């Protein structure tokens, strides 16, 4: 835990006490930040002090500090300062930290300016419709940018939606289907239309060397269902998923790490011996390169 006692912080949120919150923000010293395989990205609402206090213990590769969906309008401003408090007291981050801002024209740009001095890996940008909307953002921050792919305009132009600061794409399938006027009931593991969405998302993300992160499975108590979606998305070339509970994190980390140990064997042996056969698999240069890439991702 980051704080041994969170009663004061909970009172600050309850009372929207911005003045008191500002007093608790420590001076920011630049530190080196970890990077990860991005197998699991756990969403944590920025006004939920109890959950924020555990971010140092949760084994997610990415913690997404969420200012957008899930934060009531009357708590968005105090949530911003609560995040600032936690970031200033979290002295040795052991995972990637990403802030999911509000839409750019709904306070998002101001949030980027506010948090740019803090020790975070990236900003996650929602509700983007075109690359032109991002022009101002490129000049506002030196952080990496993670993009929510949830509008129909960006999805159909994904191959050309590129920039050196783009490091991860998140598939917002529920918002995307809303824009297409398609019911969420079609989200089934055996639906070829969903397979098409997943395949296109993965293909164009990987084509542009941008890390594809699959959608959040909202039925958070259905862990078997979550596991099936993880396996399907992994088979589609997607490299991680969004999570909303620590239990989902554990499953995602395991599934998206399944090939690592075998990959280590392949890479180490090929680099010592050259081509060889293992378990009926002939390992030559292309096979070696693929497993090497898996370890480097």
Q: Which pLDDT tens digit goes with each residue over 72-107?
A: 999 999 999 999 999 999 988 889 999 999 999 999
- Report DSSP letters for 142-177, one per residue: SSEEEEEE-SHHHHHTGGG---TTEEEEEE-HHHHH
- Residue 108 and residue 98: Cα distance in Å, rounded? 14
pLDDT at site 32: 87
- Tell me the pairing of strands 281-283 and 96-100: unpaired
Say yes or no to pLDDT of 41 above 70.
yes
> What tokens were used for 250?
């554990």
pLDDT at site 280: 86
For residue 189, what pLDDT band results from cuts at 50, 70 and 90?
A: very high
Architecture category of domain 7-258 in CATH: Alpha-Beta Barrel (3.20)
231 φ, ψ to 5°? -65, -40
- By three-state DSSP, how is residue 42 classified? strand
Q: Which pLDDT tens digit goes with each residue over 195-228?
A: 999 999 999 999 999 999 999 999 999 999 999 9
Mean pLDDT over residues 180-205, rounded? 97
CATH 3.20.20.60 domain extents, the chain:
7-258
Would the pTM count as exceeding 0.85? yes
Say yes or no to pLDDT of 126 above 90.
yes
For residue 297, what pLDDT band results from cuts at 50, 70 and 90?
A: low
Q: Which residues contact 117 (CB under 8 A, 6 or more apart)?
A: 28
Determine what percent of the chain falls in helix, strand and coil, rounding each to the nearest 5: 45, 15, 35
59 φ, ψ to 5°? -80, 20
Average pLDDT, whole number, for the chain? 94
* 68 or 263: which leads in pLDDT: 68
- State the DSSP H helix or E strand holding residue 40, giving kind and residue range, or none if neither: strand 40-45
Strands (E), 113-253: 122-125, 144-149, 166-171, 211-214, 240-243
Crossing angle (nearest 10°) for helices 285-296 and 260-273: 130
- Residue 1 and residue 79: Cα distance in Å, rounded? 19
Closest C-alpha to 126, from 156, 110, 106? 106
- Residue 119 and residue 88: Cα distance in Å, rounded? 8
> What tokens were used for 12?
């600050």
- Tell me the pairing of strands 40-45 and 276-278: unpaired
pLDDT at site 58: 92
């Amino acid at each position: 835990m980051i704080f041994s006692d969170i009663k004061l912080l909970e009172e600050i949120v309850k009372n929207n006490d911005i003045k008191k919150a500002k007093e608790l923000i420590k001076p920011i010293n630049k530190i080196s930040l970890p990077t990860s395989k991005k197998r699991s990205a756990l969403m944590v609402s920025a006004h939920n002090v109890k959950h924020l206090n555990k971010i140092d213990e949760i084994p997610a590769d990415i913690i997404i500090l969420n200012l957008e969906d899930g934060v009531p309008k009357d708590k968005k401003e105090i949530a911003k300062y609560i995040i600032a408090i936690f970031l200033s007291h979290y002295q040795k981050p052991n995972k990637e930290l990403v802030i999911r801002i509000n839409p750019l024209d709904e306070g998002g740009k101001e949030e980027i300016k506010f948090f740019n001095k803090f020790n975070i890996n990236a900003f996650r940008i929602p509700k983007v419709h075109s690359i032109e909307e991002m022009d101002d953002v490129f000049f506002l921050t030196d952080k990496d940018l993670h993009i929510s792919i949830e509008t129909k305009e960006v999805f159909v132009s994904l191959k050309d939606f590129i920039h050196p600061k783009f490091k991860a794409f998140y598939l917002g399938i529920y918002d995307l289907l809303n824009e297409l006027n398609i019911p969420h009931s079609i989200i089934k593991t055996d639906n070829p239309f969903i397979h098409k969405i997943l395949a296109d998302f993965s293909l164009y993300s990987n084509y542009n060397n941008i890390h594809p992160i699959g959608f959040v499975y909202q039925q958070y108590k259905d862990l078997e269902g979550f596991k099936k979606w993880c396996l399907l998305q992994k088979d589609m070339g997607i490299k991680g998923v969004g999570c909303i509970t620590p239990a989902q994190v554990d499953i995602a980390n395991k599934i998206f790490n399944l090939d690592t140990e075998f990959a280590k064997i392949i890479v180490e042996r090929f680099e010592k011996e050259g081509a060889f056969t293992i378990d009926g698999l002939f390992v030559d240069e292309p096979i070696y390169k693929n497993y090497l890439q898996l370890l480097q991702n």
